[in-house]
Structure 1
Amino acid sequence: MEANIKDRIKKLLALGRSPNPNEANYAILKAKKLMVEYKLTERELLRHDENPIKVDSDIYYTTRSEHWMTGLADVISENNCCVFYMVTPSGSQRHYIIFHGYEEDALICNSIFAYAVDCVRTQIKAIKKVMKLNEQPANIINEACETYGKGFYEGLDDAYTTQEYVHQEWGLVMVVPPEVKAILEPMERAHIKEKNHDDHYSFYAQGYREGKVFTTQNKLADTKEKTTAEDNPTTNQEAI
């Protein structure tokens, strides 16, 4: 039985890398639920001889724009058992986001981050279009976009906090392993000094609302479990 459960959890974690965000988020939640139910941690399941890896997101922010990206990477990595850092090629103003964690965690984290960045950039593109039509200056447009991004990742952070409160039994399943954190010890983490753009509160509020509904709990409200033959073909569908 335990071997079957371990295989099922591994398959669910693999589905967590699906390009379909609803499918991926549902699979992650289901895997964690099973791990708690059977009192298993990912380390016990997958990591007897595994070492943390780095996953290059191929996504970057620049010295001049998209500083919200570091906050977003921080929120997503912390809530998916990973850490992140930046790599800046010599002579470049591009700062690439790197995730570090055990393979399943890091790949899932990277997938969620890529989708979140795409969501934020899509909305920022719309904001820029409207503001340019209204002949707003470039610096004001940039401030509004940064404020929207900040609102998004803070809304997402609060959504994760709510999720953790609802699933307090997850406990150690959600903890970033110390051997993953260790990579940051010799590094100096970059800290972006954020400005307080009170004039753009409406964009912050919009970002906050959209970030809060991005995370798993809200996306999965109407999603049903897809029971496979390997899982249990005779078991009725169950809610999270």
Structure 2
Amino acid sequence: MRNNIRAFGLVALVMMTFTAPVWAATDPVTLSFPQGGHFRLTISATNPNMIFIPGDKIKAMTGPMGAMSDKRRSGFGGVMFSTTRTAPFTFYLETELGQVVAVTAAPIKGDGKVYRLLSSDPVERPEVRKWESGQPYETLLIALNKAALNRVMPEGYAPIEPLRDGINTPAGLSVSPLQAWSGHALRIDQYRVTNSHAYGVALREQDFWRKGVRAVMFEQRAQTLMAGASVSLLVVRAQQEASDAQH
């Protein structure tokens, strides 16, 4: 049988152990979850599926006896699995950082599914705590801003669900969350700021500050955001205050 799974390039490489695969590249489905979250997901009953959690590794996948006809870990901490069941069933994922996720799977015929799960809550990361506390605070903020600009996060920082209401928004500007990365005491959020006015608006980093924000930086340096234009904004904030704002 030829196994067809829609996945991106890295998934294709790690899954070459399946017989005669044919890959169609596409982005995985991204979903966010709280600690102890429960998903209802569609999976393929005829081709292999994959679930992975960026910045963490799945160490256990448990479910009803015989529900998984094949199950194996990928090289980057995800889990690949197949099922021949046609009725829904529930399985559980446990990660090395202590996250637990319940999944009620609904099998259907068709291409394999790839799911990318992002935690909506910060996760304890001991190696990041050591790095953050091992340098002067100002140096730390500069390093995080530079890492965000270059899209090369410090070791241990991992994608997390971005905050939708995490900054002050000046009148006439709209802000859209793009992506975020979580460390130990700090996190980085990236936003797109758009000027909906028919005239230019002065860009001032302090206009976007609110409680918990530690640094604000525009990716493109400009004093004015022209009418209809957009700019990317990077925000470093305290992890705890960000969590309090969400709940």
Fold-level match, TM-score > 0.5?
no
The normalised TM-score by structure 1 is 0.25
Task: Say which structure is richer in strand.
Answer: 2
Task: Say which structure is richer in helix.
Answer: 1
The structure with higher relative contact order (CA 8 Å, sep 6+) is 1
